[in-house]
């Protein structure tokens, strides 16, 4: 009899395939991310400006440097007229001002007689009487704020009434414009 021996041979085939990822076996890609942050400009008025306006009360014809009623009624005779540049303002701004003619019917007080001044430093003598005459177009020379994005601007107002000015209730409108400082104040 013959004896048989069976031998099982297992063959393993190994194949290597090169994969090229880059010069140093890495790959990096980039892209840009974009976001446009909108500009926000916000100014606010003190309670006296917002509720009462600038009131000179009853004054005489021919009188000069008449103080507005809230020019010195705060602590230590400080003005309680102010504007604030809100902390939500996220760009540097200028604040300009203008007014309409101070009038009563057909009668008018010349704008040169209605003056204002401002400061960011609170004190009994600030802002001083050396004010700027209001204009009916925005004053781009005498700014309330120049290149600012926060803070408080304290204001004072004065009115000179010419001799012989006709009696009456005179009114006007004061405008404040907060605008990015790269622009000239205009509306």
Give the model confidence (pLDDT) of 69-116 as tens digits.
998 888 878 888 989 988 888 888 888 899 999 999 999 999 999 999
131 touches 83 (CB < 8 A): no
115 touches 134 (CB < 8 A): yes
The pTM (predicted TM-score) of the whole model is 0.78
Residues above pLDDT 90, as percent of the chain: 35
Cβ within 8 Å of residue 70, ≥6 positions away: 48, 52, 54, 55, 79, 80, 81
Give me the residue spans of the domains in the chain. 43-180
Q: To which H or E segment does residue 175 belong?
A: strand 174-180
Query: Residue 159 corresponds to which tokens in the numbers above?
Result: 């009115």
| Residue that has been written with the tokens 């400080």 in this structure | 78
176 touches 118 (CB < 8 A): no
- 119-132 burial: b if 16+ Cβ within 10 Å, else e: beeeeeeebeeebb
* Helix locations, the chain, DSSP H: 47
Distance, in Å, from the CA atom of 8 to the CA atom of 79, rounded to the nearest integer, reads: 107
> How does residue 143 score in pLDDT terms, banded at 50, 70 and 90?
confident
């Amino acid at each position: 009899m013959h004896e048989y021996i069976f031998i099982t041979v297992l063959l393993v085939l190994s194949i290597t395939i090169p994969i090229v990822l880059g010069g140093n076996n890495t790959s990096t890609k980039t892209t840009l991310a974009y976001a446009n942050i909108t500009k926000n400009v916000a100014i606010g008025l003190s309670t006296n400006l917002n509720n009462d306006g600038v009131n000179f009360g009853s004054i005489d014809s021919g009188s000069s440097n008449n103080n507005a009623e809230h020019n010195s009624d705060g602590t230590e005779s400080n003005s309680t007229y102010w504007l604030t540049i809100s902390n939500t303002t996220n760009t540097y701004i200028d604040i300009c001002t203008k007014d309409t003619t101070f009038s009563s019917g057909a009668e008018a007080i010349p704008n040169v007689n209605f003056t204002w001044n401002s400061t960011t430093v609170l004190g009994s003598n600030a802002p001083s009487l050396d004010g700027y005459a209001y204009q009916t177009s925005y004053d781009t020379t005498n700014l309330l704020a120049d290149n600012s994005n926060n803070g408080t601007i304290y204001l004072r107002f004065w009115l000179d009434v010419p001799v012989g000015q006709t009696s009456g209730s005179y009114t006007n409108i004061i405008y404040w414009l907060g605008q990015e400082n790269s622009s000239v104040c205009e509306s």
